[in-house]
Amino acid sequence: MQPSTSMRHLKRPHGLAARAALFAAMLIAVTAALTAAILIVGAQQASGRDQIVRIENHAKQFAGAVNEALANGTIAEIDALAQVSLRSPSVRGISVRTADNTTVFEALATSADAAALDRAARRVIAEGQLVRLSVDGGMVVGAPTQDGGVALRSWSDEAFRFDLLPALAPILLLLAGLGLTAIPLTVWLVRRSLAPLDELTRFAETVTDEGATQPIELQAGDEFRTLANAFNQMIARLDKSMRHIQQIALVDPVTQLPNGEQFVREVDHWIVQGKAGAGAVLVFELQRLPKLMQMLDQAATRDFMRVIAERFTSAAQTVDKLVRVGRRDGAAAMAARLGTVEFAVFAPGVVSASDAARFAQHLNAALNQPFDWRGHKLTLGACCGVALAPRDGRDADAVIRHAHMALGAAQAAPGRLKVFTQSLDREAVAKLTLEREMRGALENNEFRAYFQPKINLANGRIEACEALARWVRPDRTIISPGRFIPVAEESGLIGALSDAIMREACWKAAAWARAGCAAKVSVNVSALQFRSERFAENVLRIVQHAGLAPKQLELEITESVVMEDLDRALRLIQPLREAGVRLAIDDFGCGHSSLAALSKLPFDVIKVDQQFVRALERGDAQGAAIIEMILALADTLGLEVVAEGVERRQEVEFMAARGCHWAQGFLYGAAVSAPEFAEMLRRQAGEDVVAIDAA
């Protein structure tokens, strides 16, 4: 969270105050303009009226003077009087007429006025009263005399001159003063009335930065209060929705436990808080759960998951108290569901590997107790990986990843729990490197089938072989399957790898048969291959392509793979049996085959596991008894038996004497490359066979 951004937001632009000030200024300007206009028009009208009165008076006076001059018989005076009148700026023409319209005197500034003067004079003589005529640029006033009339042309341009500035100055000064006080006052008023808006803005920004806070209380009693109430309601709603979204995003909907996201947050929180050490991350996997879930419908699965979660949570709380006895820190362990079959606990304050292991051990034990559910007793096979924060990672992701790494190693570890160590990390890196190299090797065809001879004990001849995968690197070093098969199975590369071996084995066996020295070939089947529904189809397609008689191919499937799901195994191998492919149980005696299951399965061959042959070697009477039993059983069921890993002649003799059909082991030779094995076959068949093609 960066408070600096909110500080930046708080500087609200004062747009409204500026606009109000502008508005006030405009109002004053408009008032000034209107006042000026009114003043000017008013002054003009007053001046016009004044002018009329003045010219009329002038005309009357002039008429009076003319009357006097006429009465005195001093007509020559009229001329002098007219000259005086003409000096006035508002008179620009004069005409004096007698009653018969004879011009006594006439003086004109321009000849254009002559007609107007004439018209006015005629009218005044005719009407005998004052007349006023509007003419272009002024007026003509006529006043009657005792013997006729006078006409005065007035209003030259200079007649009216309105002096604007002195007339407007006081009012403009007043308005300027008003502007100087009104504008700051307006700004102040606007700001003052908008203060609640600032408060609301600040509140909204706090909510944006820090999430919902206390509702806002505004002192203003106006519309802002309504707005604040609307704000509070909106935020309360948003807060509710946010809580709901968080609930959905951070809680597992089935168990109501925190989910992976929330778990990561919690661990990160403790890593940031804890100085000396944050705590332990324990990741649990319930290995039998996926199979069980396959058999349950959705509702049942959810119900069962809730039962598991309850057990997990209560056990975590109990163990937490047990392990934290005597500690002062009060933070309780947090249980979470990370994945479908994965649970986790974060135990704050559990900082030593031994305490963490103790925690895991107790919790593992609690989870491994059978679950009583709907009348069934179900054991789920829990195992646990542990990592310490911040010892095993600077953030939650790293610590959880390391706990997962430990979980990967936990299955084979004592107590099915493992605390992360640096060597696990190195192993993981080595695995990843190997996996990357394997992908390249697959493309380069570096995985080859080597063939180990199988001896028919009835005649001592090599009549079959087992194809064993070898990684032949470009520098001719050979890597054996013990190293790469587990990685191939984990990474899913086993499918492509086994297909490559199967293909090569079938093509080679077909070539040997064509050359007249046939040998059956057996190929190992991985658990992963057997999971594919198209397993039989794939095998049969390869056999057909290679042109191999199906009865020449034997598939070695380990006991545990078959026993995982007996009915499915039966269904999968049925088409292969029908086609004539032989089936062998590999490593027999290591797993948990029941006699009933064995009799049900349509196998042709049992391969007795090497450990029993080793037992013979040690003179272990029990081992010998088991071999005898297996041989007797195979005899009863009509199965052939292969003794694996035979290294000494005595072992073969022991087995042969008890009806064992085949022997395979270093006594006869380790797996060799295809050309070497073909050479062995050729030598055995004598020189009369044709050369085996290299296909």
| Nearest Cα to Cα of residue 497 among 435, 559, 453 | 435
* Residue 54 near residue 19, CB atoms below 8 Å: no
Give residue number: closest CB to ligand C2E: 665
Site for Mg ion in 507-526 (CB under 5 A): 524
Q: State how far the Cα of 694 lies from the Cα of 314, in Å rounded to an integer.
A: 66
Q: Which does 368 bind (CB under 5 to 8 A by kind): Mg ion, ligand C2E, none?
A: none
Residue 183 or 528: which CB sits closer to ligand C2E? Answer: 528
Site map 534..563 versus Mg ion, x via CB under 5 A:
----------------------x-------
Least Å distance between CB 505 and Mg ion? 12
Q: Which residue has the tokens 């706090």?
A: 206
Least Å distance between CB 556 and Mg ion? 4
Q: Would you count residue 56 as binding Mg ion (CB under 5 A)? A: no
Least Å distance between CB 671 and ligand C2E? 5
- Which letter, b or e, does each residue of 89-118 get, where b requires 16 or more Cβ atoms within 10 Å of its Cβ? ebbbbbbbbeeeeeebbbbbeeeebeebbb
What angle, rounded to 10 degrees, do the helices at 481-491 and 494-514 form? 130
Site for Mg ion in 613-672 (CB under 5 A): 644
Q: Which does 506 bind (CB under 5 to 8 A by kind): ligand C2E, Mg ion, none?
A: none
Of 239, 587, 604, 628, the one binding ligand C2E (CB under 6 A) is 587
Q: Would you count residue 651 as binding ligand C2E (CB under 6 A)? A: no
Strand order in the sheet with 131-135: 103-108, 91-97, 148-154, 138-145, 131-135
Of 671, 672, 681, 692, the one binding ligand C2E (CB under 6 A) is 671
Site for Mg ion in 455-484 (CB under 5 A): none
Q: Would you count residue 48 as binding ligand C2E (CB under 6 A)? A: no
Site for ligand C2E in 546-575 (CB under 6 A): 556
Of 266, 355, 586, 651, the one binding Mg ion (CB under 5 A) is 586
Q: Would you count residue 480 as binding ligand C2E (CB under 6 A)? A: yes
Q: How many residues are recorded in the chain?
A: 695
Of 482, 619, 638, 686, the one binding ligand C2E (CB under 6 A) is 482
Secondary structure (H, E, C), 2-66: CHHHHHHHHCCCCHHHHHHHHHHHHHHHHHHHHHHHHHHHHHHHHHHHHHHHHHHHHHHHHHHHH
> Are β-strands 334-339 and 662-663 bridged in parallel, bridged antiparallel, or unpaired?
unpaired
Q: Which does 647 bind (CB under 5 to 8 A by kind): Mg ion, ligand C2E, none?
A: ligand C2E
> Are β-strands 279-286 and 382-389 bridged in parallel, bridged antiparallel, or unpaired?
antiparallel
Least Å distance between CB 473 and ligand C2E? 16
Least Å distance between CB 488 and ligand C2E? 8
Q: Which does 593 bind (CB under 5 to 8 A by kind): Mg ion, ligand C2E, none?
A: none
Q: Which does 526 bind (CB under 5 to 8 A by kind): ligand C2E, Mg ion, none?
A: ligand C2E
Residue 307 or 590: which CB sits closer to Mg ion? Answer: 590
Give residue number: closest CB to Mg ion: 556
Q: Would you count residue 481 as binding ligand C2E (CB under 6 A)? A: yes
Least Å distance between CB 594 and Mg ion? 20
SS3 category, 392: coil
Q: Would you count residue 617 as binding ligand C2E (CB under 6 A)? A: no
Q: Which does 482 bind (CB under 5 to 8 A by kind): Mg ion, ligand C2E, none?
A: ligand C2E
| Nearest Cα to Cα of residue 131 among 63, 68, 50, 56 | 56
Least Å distance between CB 587 and Mg ion? 4
Q: Would you count residue 453 as binding ligand C2E (CB under 6 A)? A: no
Q: Structure tokens of 195?
A: 């203060």
Q: What is the dihedral of CA 355, 360, 361, 365, to 10 degrees?
A: 150
Q: Which does 665 bind (CB under 5 to 8 A by kind): Mg ion, ligand C2E, none?
A: ligand C2E
Q: State how far the Cα of 561 lies from the Cα of 570, in Å rounded to an integer.
A: 12
Site for ligand C2E in 129-148 (CB under 6 A): none
Q: Which residue has the tokens 């027999």?
A: 588
Residue 113 or 586: which CB sits closer to Mg ion? Answer: 586
Q: Would you count residue 498 as binding ligand C2E (CB under 6 A)? A: yes
Residue 316 or 671: which CB sits closer to Mg ion? Answer: 671
Least Å distance between CB 447 and ligand C2E? 8
Q: State how far the Cα of 465 lies from the Cα of 454, in Å rounded to an integer.
A: 5
Of 232, 361, 526, 673, the one binding ligand C2E (CB under 6 A) is 526
Q: State how far the Cα of 152 lies from the Cα of 144, in Å rounded to an integer.
A: 12
* Residue 479 near residue 470, CB atoms below 8 Å: yes
Secondary structure (H, E, C), 378-390: ECCCEEEEEEEEC
Of 59, 125, 283, 501, the one binding ligand C2E (CB under 6 A) is 501
Least Å distance between CB 625 and ligand C2E? 22
Least Å distance between CB 439 and ligand C2E? 17
* Residue 590 near residue 609, CB atoms below 8 Å: yes
Least Å distance between CB 680 and Mg ion? 19
The vertex-173 CA angle with 169 and 176, nearest 5°, equals 140
Least Å distance between CB 467 and Mg ion? 9
Q: Would you count residue 446 as binding Mg ion (CB under 5 A)? A: no
Binding segment toward ligand C2E, per CB under 6 A, in 3-11, 199-207, 253-261, 642-650: 642-650
Residue 96 or 493: which CB sits closer to ligand C2E? Answer: 493
Q: Would you count residue 666 as binding ligand C2E (CB under 6 A)? A: yes
* C-alpha of 659 from chain center: 67
* Residue 624 near residue 615, CB atoms below 8 Å: yes
Q: Which does 170 bind (CB under 5 to 8 A by kind): ligand C2E, Mg ion, none?
A: none
Binding segment toward ligand C2E, per CB under 6 A, in 50-58, 126-134, 520-528, 648-656: 520-528
Q: State how far the Cα of 152 lies from the Cα of 139, in Å rounded to an integer.
A: 8
Total of chain residues touching Mg ion, rule CB under 5 A: 5
Q: What is the dihedral of CA 172, 177, 178, 184, to 10 degrees?
A: 140
Least Å distance between CB 610 and ligand C2E? 6
Residue 392 or 644: which CB sits closer to Mg ion? Answer: 644
Q: Which does 480 bind (CB under 5 to 8 A by kind): ligand C2E, Mg ion, none?
A: ligand C2E
Q: State how far the Cα of 45 lies from the Cα of 41, in Å rounded to an integer.
A: 6
* Residue 646 near residue 430, CB atoms below 8 Å: no
Q: Which does 15 bind (CB under 5 to 8 A by kind): ligand C2E, Mg ion, none?
A: none
State how far the alpha carbon of 211 is from the alpha carbons of 7, 199, 201, 206, 228, in Å.
Answer: 16, 17, 14, 7, 17
* Residue 454 near residue 463, CB atoms below 8 Å: yes
Total of chain residues touching ligand C2E, rule CB under 6 A: 23
> Are β-strands 279-286 and 103-108 bridged in parallel, bridged antiparallel, or unpaired?
unpaired
| Nearest Cα to Cα of residue 420 among 504, 360, 483 | 360
Q: Which does 559 bind (CB under 5 to 8 A by kind): ligand C2E, Mg ion, none?
A: none
State how far the alpha carbon of 218 is from the alpha carbons of 91, 206, 212, 225, in Å.
Answer: 76, 16, 17, 6
Query: Which residues form the interface with Mg ion (CB under 5 A)?
Result: 524, 556, 586-587, 644
Query: Which residues form the interface with ligand C2E (CB under 6 A)?
Result: 452, 468-469, 480-482, 485, 498, 501, 524-526, 556, 586-587, 644-647, 665-666, 670-671
